[in-house]
Amino acid sequence: MTWRSISGRPYVTVTHAPVKIVMAVKGVETVVFNARGLLNFEVKQSAPAAGESWPETFNSHTDSRPNGPMALAFDVAFPGAAHVYGIPERATSMSLKETKSGADGTAASEPYRLYNLDVFEYLAESPFGLYGSIPVLMAHAMSGGAAGRKTAMTSAVYFNNPSETYVDVSKKADGAHSQWMAESGAMDLFLIPGKGVTSLTHSITPSLPPSLPPSLPQSITRSLVRSLAHSLTICVVSDELAVCWRPFAGVRRRRPCCGSTRR
């Protein structure tokens, strides 16, 4: 089964058995769902097996899990892509490093973790999450075109599932590969085509302006700000470096962005 857009450029081919979804732009494959056949999910159960216990407790909260474990997993490939970006927020390179390397899929590190946290201190070059998580993975590839010309292709996937998720990344000769493993939730995945990074970003977030100024969110009431003098030093240094900043809770008067002459 093939679905084509009105313009005839992007199209999606769906294969039933085995399940496989291929998205192509201008005749070039950009995203392949279930390329390696890793789609898997746990089905609803009526009662735990002998020796198993379904409820899970974290601090004072208990999840009874009445239907049993409901994990799901799948893989997404980006043909021809050498770099993948996204699934923030974490302290590592913009081009995500491999978590699995080699032909045999040897683990190079822990998978990237998508989980909302409040992290005070963190390790550099770590796959673990910081603060919020956004399940969007973007890839950029240079594909062959007419007369041997290379064409830039940007594509992305958005996994609409807030559950704790782990993502493995591997890079091979045929492109970049990712494997997603979610604790539970719905299988709701968006394949997003785009001519370039700008057009793709606008298709995901059409209400945002084309560019945002770099800024420094700073709360003068947090424990890291030790005194009023420390707060004033932050203000002065930010203005000297022309860094936009905005105060958070506890501030009655908002200071202009980047000094009194800029807003």
pLDDT of residue 255: 44
Q: What is the span of the domain harbouring residue 230? A: 213-263
pLDDT band of 227, cuts 50, 70, 90: confident
Express each pLDDT in 34-52 by its tens digit.
999 999 999 888 888 888 8
Within-domain flag for 55:
no
Number of domains into which the chain is organized: 2
In a domain, 50, yes or no: no
Greater model confidence, 259 or 196: 196
Average pLDDT of the residues of the chain: 80
Scanning the structure block, which residue is given the tokens 């800024």?
Answer: 215
DSSP labels, 59-128: TTEEE--TT----EEEEEEEETEEEEEES---SS-SSPPPSEETTTTEE-SPPEEE-----SS--TT--S
User: Please, what sign has the CA dihedral across residues 30, 33, 38, 41?
Assistant: positive
pLDDT range class, residue 261, cuts 50, 70, 90: very low
pLDDT of residue 169: 95
The mean per-residue pLDDT over the stretch 84-91 comes to 90
Whether the pLDDT of residue 218 is over 80: the answer is no
Lowest mean pLDDT among 6-10, 131-135, 158-162, 195-199: 6-10
Least confident span in 26-30, 79-83, 216-220: 216-220
- Output the pLDDT for position 256: 44
What is the pTM assigned to this prediction?
A: 0.76
Share of the chain above pLDDT 90, in %: 30
| Identity of residue 27 | G
pLDDT, average across residues 13-29: 88
- Per DSSP, the three-state class of 204 is helix
**Which of residues 184, 204, 224 is at a domain's end?**
204
Tell me if 53 is assigned to some domain: no
Whether residue 180 is found in the same domain as residue 220: no
pLDDT band at 249 (very low <50, low <70, confident <90, very high): very low
pLDDT at 233: 84
Do residue 185 and residue 238 come from a single domain?
no
Say which residues have a Cβ less than 8 Å from residue 215's Cβ, sequence separation at least 6.
243, 244, 245, 246, 257
Contacts of 121 (CB under 8 A, 6+ apart): none
Residues 71 and 142 in one domain: yes
Q: How far apart are CA 128 and CA 144, in angstroms?
A: 36
Task: Show which of 204, 236, 253 is a domain's final residue.
Answer: 204
- Would you say residue 59 lies in a domain? no
pLDDT at 236 over 60: yes
Q: Which residue has the higher pLDDT, 254 or 121?
A: 121
Residues 185 and 249 in one domain: no
- Say whether both 195 and 252 belong to one domain: no
Return the structure tokens found at 236: 């002065």
Does residue 22 sit in the same domain as residue 124?
A: yes
The model's pLDDT over 51-74, given as tens digits with 9 standing for 90+, comes to: 888 988 888 888 888 888 899 999
Residues 6+ apart with CB under 8 A from 206: none
Q: What is the CATH number of the domain that holds 14?
A: 2.60.40.1760
* Domain membership flag for residue 48: no
